[in-house]
Amino acid sequence: MNNTSGRQWLLILGVAAVLGASLFGLVATESVLVVEDIETGKTYLAAPVTNGSTVALEYTHSVEKTRVYDGYRVDGETLINTRMEFESYGWGLPARVNVTTVNGTFVYDPEEPIAELTELSVSPGRIADHTLIVDGSRHDLVARTNARDVSIHIERRSRINRII
């Protein structure tokens, strides 16, 4: 075998390796937090997440007119409710749990998870002004969904699906 054909084979193998790695990267799956319309299935948001990612809903309580923060941690395809912050007691807020007060806000930060959910249904409201926070990035759910009912859940998707 002469030197030129050896270089050609090395070049071909190198190109094949790069193409193979690129294809694998596009086909490999990742966890994605999906916000989709409950009726139509339209996807409004697909944000990559990993185990331990933080997800939160922040909104104004409909009766009390005060801020509420529901914090979750991603664990596989589950959202684990790990924290609540609220500025006053009202309907739907924990009244019989031990809370601490931080700068005038009640904080429920239990040792055990509050709930483990595979799906979270939300009715984004214009008065409540629902905001979804994914690893620190804020998303206006009302504007993004036109205040339509949504399902929030974790899916495994190939990277190419997210790109498309």
> Is 99 within the bounds of a domain?
yes
Q: What pLDDT digit, counting tens, does each position of 45-78 carry?
A: 999 999 999 999 999 998 888 999 999 999 999 9
CA distance 129 to 140: 8
Q: What pLDDT digit, counting tens, does each position of 105-155 carry?
A: 999 988 887 788 999 999 999 999 999 999 999 999 999 999 999 999 999
> Is 22 within the bounds of a domain?
no
Number of domains making up the chain: 1
Ramachandran area for residue 92 (φ above 0: left; ψ -120 to 50: alpha; else beta): left
Closest CA to 109 of 69, 76, 142: 69
> Is 97 within the bounds of a domain?
yes
> Is 123 within the bounds of a domain?
yes
Q: Which is more confidently placed, 76 or 21?
A: 76
Q: Which residue has the tokens 């790109």?
A: 163
- Rounded to 10 degrees, the C-alpha dihedral 54/136/130/83 comes to 40
Q: Find the domain containing 78 and state its range.
A: 30-163
> Is 24 within the bounds of a domain?
no
State pTM to two decimals: 0.77
> Is 12 within the bounds of a domain?
no
> Is 6 within the bounds of a domain?
no
